[in-house]
């Protein structure tokens, strides 16, 4: 009975989500007057004008400062006397493998997830965007969700958030789920990813591994897309140890799943070898496709709707020199006009820029050494600013002199990246910067 009630609530709320999606369908390309990072949810209230703050979710380092994970606020207002400086930080206590986060649709709250502890920290960023106020912690995630662990990030939906996870409490491998919470922090539903044994009606079930990572929505097509990574047992191990373990290296995702967003029903599973990570939907109102990059095989993949209305996935370009080995692409950012794709590569610390005007035939145009390691890349909506962070995972970051920990900002005028400012998070005793989100005092509806 309880399961039936939960399912009914999920289906009812799904209907409400689709109605909201229809209302938003005309907003597939948002006017320049409203800005943001280009890779945020289409349901998110937009910044009016330029971003004023960058919120950085940061991993604590034992013996460095207070050693705790923290939310760090950097001032990026061009005319500010504190431009490019840290103006606030809040420690959450302990080290939880700070990873990704996201806003609620009204942008009043910022939810930040811990991969190792499965805790989610909620901040009020509306009352004073320059000094977010800690509200509460969801510390019963595993129990409440029925065994989902490793919340990877937070994605805004109407009145709720979608939290893709990386693992489960039973064997702590990659089988996992999507979880929904209300904006008030109340649990709504858990949707387990399809597997060969439990395909949930999805085509391509022979490829289904049940692994998860990112989750993104294309509302006007009623499509939810997910990718896959690895489980708790792998991402909490030392990287050098793990790569020498043949069994561990088998435990990486190799799938993408296309879902019916309304019903949360998985429709089709694609085989995508090499751990496909971040998903970036194109913004154009007639563009029905998304990119992802495979970390282990260094490829760009395209998921697209074909002429028959069927969803397909295919490899479209190598990232880096195929003969030179993998460069470990870990984040991508698509420009607002859908013409450029920025790829952050942890392995060699470079950003590569692709012309994706023809999404089926991307071409690399440019590359820039950002650091000895680089993780996240975020581009501003007007295309003029890029921000990079350095940390991948606490136990996967490079060692010694290669363990640079930074936030670096660049201008982009269409053909070259030029440095604007940088912050050394180790020297500042702040830890390892991972995810970035933009903030401002003026938010649109």
The 10s digit of each residue's pLDDT in 283-310 is 999 999 999 999 999 999 999 999 999 9
For 292, 293, 425, the CA distances from 273, given in Å and listed in that order, are 12, 10, 34
Q: Residue 20 — very low, low, confident or very high, per pLDDT cuts 50/70/90? A: very low
Look at residue 23 in the predicted model and tell me its pLDDT: 39
Q: Residue 183 — very low, low, confident or very high, per pLDDT cuts 50/70/90? A: very high
Decide if 116 is inside a domain.
yes
Decide if 445 is inside a domain.
no
Average pLDDT over residues 20-37: 51
Is residue 142 within 8 Å of 153, Cβ to Cβ?
no
Is residue 166 within 8 Å of 152, Cβ to Cβ?
yes
Residue 342, Cβ density class (10 Å: 0-12 exposed, 13-18 middle, ≥19 buried): buried
Is residue 174 within 8 Å of 210, Cβ to Cβ?
yes
Decide if 213 is inside a domain.
yes
CA 243 to chain centroid: 24
* Residues 6 or more apart whose Cβ sits within 8 Å of residue 60: 66, 67, 68, 69, 70, 91, 94, 95, 98, 431, 432
Q: Residue 4 — very low, low, confident or very high, per pLDDT cuts 50/70/90? A: very low
pLDDT mean across residues, the chain: 93
Decide if 119 is inside a domain.
yes
Q: Which residue has the tokens 């391509």?
A: 204
pLDDT digits (tens, 9 = 90+) for 43-101: 999 998 899 999 999 999 999 999 999 999 999 999 999 999 999 999 999 999 999 99
pLDDT digits (tens, 9 = 90+) for 124-178: 999 999 999 999 999 999 999 999 999 999 999 999 999 999 999 999 999 999 9
Pairing of strands 187-192, 215-218: unpaired
Look at residue 5 in the predicted model and tell me its pLDDT: 35
Tokens of 311: 């969803």
Decide if 444 is inside a domain.
no
Average pLDDT over residues 16-20: 42
Q: Residue 445 — very low, low, confident or very high, per pLDDT cuts 50/70/90? A: low
Is residue 432 over pLDDT 70? yes
For 259, 285, 302, 431, the CA distances from 366, given in Å and listed in that order, are 34, 27, 20, 30
Q: Residue 413 — very low, low, confident or very high, per pLDDT cuts 50/70/90? A: confident
Using CA atoms, how far apart are residues 167 and 243, in angstroms rounded to an integer? 19
Average pLDDT over residues 426-436: 98
Give the CATH number of the domain where residue 300 resides.
Answer: 2.130.10.10
Average pLDDT over residues 199-221: 97
Is residue 21 over pLDDT 60? no
Is residue 6 over pLDDT 60? no
CA 195 to chain centroid: 23
Average pLDDT over residues 13-32: 42
Using CA atoms, how far apart are residues 206 and 196, in angstroms rounded to an integer? 6
Domain that holds residue 73: 2-439
Look at residue 444 in the predicted model and tell me its pLDDT: 77
Look at residue 241 in the predicted model and tell me its pLDDT: 97
Average pLDDT over residues 112-123: 98
For 387, 393, 443, the CA distances from 319, given in Å and listed in that order, are 20, 21, 36
Is residue 31 over pLDDT 70? no
Look at residue 16 in the predicted model and tell me its pLDDT: 44
Average pLDDT over residues 246-267: 97
Is residue 29 over pLDDT 70? no
Decide if 54 is inside a domain.
yes
Look at residue 175 in the predicted model and tell me its pLDDT: 97
Instruction: Read off the DSSP letter of residue 23.
Output: H
Look at residue 124 in the predicted model and tell me its pLDDT: 98
Number of separate domains in the chain: 1
Decide if 263 is inside a domain.
yes
Q: Residue 11 — very low, low, confident or very high, per pLDDT cuts 50/70/90? A: very low
Look at residue 326 in the predicted model and tell me its pLDDT: 82
Is residue 9 over pLDDT 60? no
Q: Residue 323 — very low, low, confident or very high, per pLDDT cuts 50/70/90? A: confident
Q: In the chain, what percentage of residues exceed pLDDT 90?
A: 89
């Amino acid at each position: 009975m309880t399961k039936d009630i939960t399912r009914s609530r999920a289906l009812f709320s799904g209907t409400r989500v689709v109605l909201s999606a229809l209302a938003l369908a005309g907003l597939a390309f948002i006017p320049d007057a409203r800005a943001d990072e280009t890779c945020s949810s289409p349901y998110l209230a937009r910044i009016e004008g330029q971003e004023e703050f960058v919120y950085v979710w940061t991993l604590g380092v034992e013996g460095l400062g207070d050693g705790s994970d923290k939310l760090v606020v950097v001032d990026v207002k061009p005319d500010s006397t504190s431009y490019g400086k840290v103006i606030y930080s809040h420690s959450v206590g302990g080290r939880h493998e700070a990873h990704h986060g996201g806003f609620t649709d009204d942008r009043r709250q910022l939810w930040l997830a811990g991969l190792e502890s499965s805790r989610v920290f909620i901040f009020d960023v509306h009352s004073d965007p320059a000094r977010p106020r800690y509200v509460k912690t969801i510390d019963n995630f595993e129990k409440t969700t029925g065994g989902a662990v490793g919340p990877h990030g937070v994605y805004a939906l109407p009145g709720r958030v979608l939290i893709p996870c990386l693992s489960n409490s039973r064997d702590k491998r990659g089988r996992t789920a999507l979880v929904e919470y209300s904006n008030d922090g109340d649990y709504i539903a858990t949707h387990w990813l399809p597997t060969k044994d439990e395909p949930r009606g999805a085509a391509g079930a022979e490829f289904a591994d049940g692994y998860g990572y990112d989750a993104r929505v294309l509302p006007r097509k009623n499509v939810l897309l997910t990718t896959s990574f690895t489980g708790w047992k792998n991402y909490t191990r030392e990287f050098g140890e793990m790569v020498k373990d043949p069994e561990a290296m088998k435990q990486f995702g190799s799938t993408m799943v296309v879902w019916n967003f309304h019903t949360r029903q998985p429709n089709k599973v694609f085989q995508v070898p090499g751990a496909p990570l971040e998903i970036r939907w194109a913004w154009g109102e007639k563009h029905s496709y998304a990119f992802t990059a495979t970390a282990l095989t260094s490829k760009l993949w395209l998921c697209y709707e074909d002429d028959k209305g069927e969803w397909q996935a295919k490899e479209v370009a190598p990232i880096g020199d195929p003969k030179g080995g993998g460069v470990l692409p870990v984040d991508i950012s698509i420009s607002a006009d859908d013409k450029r794709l920025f790829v952050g590569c942890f392995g060699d610390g470079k950003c590569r820029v692709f012309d994706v005007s023809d999404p089926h035939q991307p071409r690399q145009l440019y590359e820039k050494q950002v650091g000895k390691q680089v993780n996240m890349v975020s581009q501003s909506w007007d295309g003029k600013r890029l921000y990079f962070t350095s940390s991948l995972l606490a136990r996967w970051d490079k060692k010694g002199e290669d363990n640079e920990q930074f936030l670096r900002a660049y201008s982009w005028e269409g053909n070259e990246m030029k440095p604007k400012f940088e912050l050394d998070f180790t020297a500042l005793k702040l830890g390892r910067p991972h995810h970035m989100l933009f903030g401002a005092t003026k938010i649109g509806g």
